[in-house]
Amino acid sequence: MTDSPRGDRTARNATALAAGLAALGLTCAIEARGKLVLLMPDQESVIKLADESLRRAALALAKEQGFTHAAIELPNDRRRADPDADAAVLRD
């Protein structure tokens, strides 16, 4: 299998999504996993995302960039204090 001369489409879509979110005033780390995008907003953006219309606009941007599913991961003080506090996930 050869790489497309156009590069990684998912990465380009994520970059465009990040720019669109920034235009909405949102600061988010983004992880793209195929057609799923995970948005990890900073604390200020979490407060802004409480507004339903802004949240809908952010999710519409994800769809416009080719993502079929989007998740918003909320910050967790416990996780920041102790990143090893979560239980391990068993894998096959």
Q: Decide if pLDDT at 81 tops 80.
A: no
**pLDDT for 1:** 39
Query: What secondary structure letter does DSSP report for 41?
Result: E
Residue 49 CA: distances (Å) to CA of 2, 30, 41, 55, 66? 40, 15, 9, 5, 21
pLDDT, tens digit (0-9, with 9 covering 90-100), for 39-53: 999 999 999 999 999
Alpha carbon 29 to chain centroid, angstroms: 6
Q: What are phi and psi of 28, to 5 degrees?
A: -135, 140
In this predicted structure, the answer to whether residue 58 has a pLDDT above a threshold of 70 is yes
Residues 5-52 pLDDT 10s: 455 566 778 899 999 999 999 999 999 988 999 999 999 999 999 999
The domain limits of the chain are 28-75
The structure's pTM equals 0.70
What totals of helices (H) and strands (E) does the chain contain, helices first?
A: 4, 3
